Amino acid sequence: MISWSDADLFDTLRKVFGFREFRPNQEQIVRAILETRDVFAVMPTGGGKSLCYQLPAVLMQGTCMVISPLISLMKDQVDGARANGIRAAFLNSSLLPDERDRVMQELLSNSLDLLYVAPERFTLDHFREMLGRVRISMAVIDEAHCISEWGHDFRPDYLSLSDLVTLFPDLPVAAFTATATHLVQQDILDKLALRTPLIVRASFDRPNLFYDVRFKENTDLQLVSLLKKNAGKAGIIYRTSRKSVDETAAMLKAKGFRALPYHAGLSDDNRKHHQEAFIRDEVEVIVATIAFGMGIDKSNIRFVIHADLPKSIENYYQETGRAGRDGGTAQCTLLFAQGDISKLRYFIDAMTDEPERKKALAALSKVISFAATSVCRRRSLLEYFGEHYPLENCCSCDICLGTREVVDCTRDAQMLLSAIVRTEERFGAMHIVDIVLGSNNQKIRDFGHDRLKTYGVGKARNKQYWRQLVDELLAQKVIEKSEGLYPTLFLLPKAVQILKNDEKIAMVRVVDKKKEKELYGTLDAQGSNFDQELFELLRILRKQIALEQGIPPYVVFSDRSLHDMASIFPRNDESLLTVSGVGEVKLERYGRQFLRLIDRYCSEHPDRVR
């Protein structure tokens, strides 16, 4: 077995990838693979999983085979690897016959460091037979949670990957995932039968992500407001249905935003075109269904908005995890209203597999609890994955930053509950709210509800408050909605205790809009210690180069690299190599153009050079 020195590892890290040090857990995983040891690693999105196998792939003889379910991601991953000078290719159904033949020839001639393949290709007998004629250095399983039926994204094709350890008895097999509870983790280990693997369970904490939950009022107005605050930044908006995706994308385009839809109902060509436009910074916003997995490997996504409830905490974590992959600050906003629960319940209730239905209901319940909680969002997320968050205040969620406060709403809850009781639990939420508000509409007069003791008792508050309180009572299992086309509200046992003053109830409210605006302004300013004008010029140059070469802009240099350049003003090769993400290959390919721009900018603005 070949032994690699520290110099081999760190020289490769610096020259190929442009980094001076490993991120947490990377070095340990790299060394294990180089020692031909199996690895199972749970690492958050943006934690640097790809480097853990790409670096050994550069050093080891033979081809590293990476099995990934995301066909749409493979080209981006290959483009990124090639930009660093790594010999990489992919094999999937998107290739034309002559392209596929060329990749096969490169593989058979041992001319590849990395080969990405889809799991269904691995199941083919002729592909396995061909692997016997190729020098393989290791096998890597990306998105390993797909092998677990307990996971949120089970794929039957992944079950065949349990053959890897017998097919490659003397080679390391490494499995990676960004989301796995302890139950899912054990299921993956059992199915893959890895041989005394190094097990790494990194922290699920993404400290650069800001978590924010808002009561959904007028979705279109809220989305427009959020996008204006993030003008010029890349982001993703998630919606539940294809129809809402199309409507939201059309609305945003009409308002002047560069936005495109992305869902399974689009043709393959349209979906590919929309994804590439987003990746190449031709549009700023993608609106997507939460049910459709997006193969987006874009490092500079600055915000993710869930305009509807996600199906599970795993989905929410994975989808928000697409923001801030470059380490920069990013905002994750969830708009929450009780109506979203009904939409998801409709699909869940239609499930014929009872165990699956129960699992989906349990997952939805946890999402609702997360949205309605009055404790730190980060702590809630980490506890779901079995991790304790040690700090009292994360300083990066709506609860901890003080934009939300917990208020006692017991008396107001009693008003609503009394109205439900006095109308014999025969009416829906909006009618109950109208009674409490003292609305003078025909329906209330027809039923004589304007003569109830609870009529008009809540005039001091607006309709939004009472709607939110209804949602809170539903979320905290004080009341429930009946099934059917016109659901009515009825009391649960906890409601009786509240009416008797034996139990109190509280909910999370916005402190005030001015304070919220100030805090978000502070958040936006984080990580902006660089020359903004130079950064924009560097972005333009990056986009020009990417367009000429037919690759995504972030493959040339990440936003993190451009931020560093706009902060330290490198003027020669040596100083440019100190920029994060600038290795020798990228220096040779792009260095002269970027140095020329920086030099000209410094000459024109000598007062800004630090």
Q: Provide the CB-side half-sphere exposure for 167 (13 A, CA).
A: 24
Please report how the helices 532-549 and 584-604 are oriented relative to each other, as an axis angle in degrees rounded to 10. 140
For the cut 90, the answer to whether the pLDDT of residue 524 exceeds it is no
Residue 371: its H or E element: helix 354-372
Give SS3 for 176.
strand
471 torsion bin: left (phi>0), alpha (psi -120 to 50), beta (else): alpha
Residue 292 has pLDDT above 60, yes or no: no
Q: What is the C-alpha separation between 505 and 147, in angstroms, rounded? A: 42
What is the mean predicted confidence (pLDDT) over 252-276? Answer: 91
Query: To the nearest whole number, what is the mean pLDDT of the chain?
Result: 88
Length of the chain: 610
pLDDT at 526 over 60: no
pLDDT exceeds 90 at position 569: yes
Q: Topology of domain 407-510, per CATH?
A: Arc Repressor Mutant, subunit A (1.10.10)
Distance in angstroms (rounded) separating the CA atoms of residues 153 and 147? 8
d(CA 108, CA 104): 6
Give residue-wise pLDDT tens across range 55-95.
999 999 999 999 988 777 788 889 889 999 999 999 988 88
d(CA 244, CA 532): 36
On whether the 6-201 domain is CATH 3.40.50.300, my answer is: yes
Q: Do domains 6-201 and 532-608 have the same CATH topology?
A: no
Give the separation between CA 74 and CA 79, rounded to whole angstroms.
9
Q: What is the pLDDT of residues 87-117, one digit of tens each?
A: 999 998 888 899 999 999 999 999 999 999 9
pLDDT at 191: 92
Handedness of CA 525, 530, 534, 536 (dihedral sign): negative
Distance in angstroms (rounded) separating the CA atoms of residues 559 and 221: 29
Round to whole Å and give the CA distance between 46 and 329: 12
CATH code: domain 532-608 is 1.10.150.80
Two tokens, residue 260 = 């495109």
Q: What is the mean pLDDT of residues 10-36?
A: 94
pLDDT bucket at 138, cuts 50 / 70 / 90:
very high
Q: Is residue 222 classed exposed, middle or buried when 0-12, 13-18 and 19+ CB atoms within 10 A define those classes?
A: middle
pLDDT at 293 over 60: no
Decide: helix, strand or coil at residue 76.
Answer: helix
DSSP secondary structure letters along 455-509: TTTTTTS-HHHHHHHHHHHHHTTSEEEPSSSS--EEE-HHHHHHHTTSS--EEEE
Q: In what order do the strands lie in the sheet with 330-336?
A: 209-215, 330-336, 301-306, 234-239, 285-289, 259-262
Whether 137 contacts 63, CB under 8 Å: yes
CA atoms within 13 A on the CB side of 522: 13
- DSSP for 350-367, written as a single string: T-S-HHHHHHHHHHHHHH
User: Where exactly are the structural domains of the chain?
Assistant: 6-201, 209-403, 407-510, 532-608
User: Which pLDDT score, from 0 to 100, does residue 432 have?
Assistant: 95
Phi, psi of 207 (to 5 degrees): -60, -20
Higher pLDDT, 318 or 89: 89
Residue 70's pLDDT is what?
76
Q: Please write the tens of the pLDDT for every residue from 426-437.
A: 999 999 999 999
* Cβ atoms within 10 Å of 189's Cβ, excluding its own: 18
Query: Kind and range of the H or E element at 434?
Result: helix 429-437
- The yes-or-no verdict on residue 515 having pLDDT over 60 is no
Say whether domain 209-403 belongs to CATH 3.40.50.300. Answer: yes
pLDDT band at 514 (very low <50, low <70, confident <90, very high): low
For position 472, what pLDDT does the model report?
82
Element (H, E) at 600: helix 584-604
Using CA of residue 361, residue 362, residue 368, residue 372, what is the dihedral sign? positive
User: Which residue in 186, 111, 115 sits closest to 149, CA to CA?
Assistant: 186
Q: Tens digit of pLDDT for each residue in 160-213? A: 888 899 999 999 999 999 888 888 899 999 999 999 999 999 988 999 999 999
The pLDDT of residue 283 is: 93
Find, among 455, 341, 471, the residue nearest to 409 by Cα.
471
User: For 463-489, how does the pLDDT look when each residue is reduced to its tens digit (9 = 90+)?
Assistant: 888 988 998 888 788 998 887 778 899
- C-alpha span between 276 and 282 (Å, rounded): 8
Q: Specify the amino acid at residue 149.
A: E
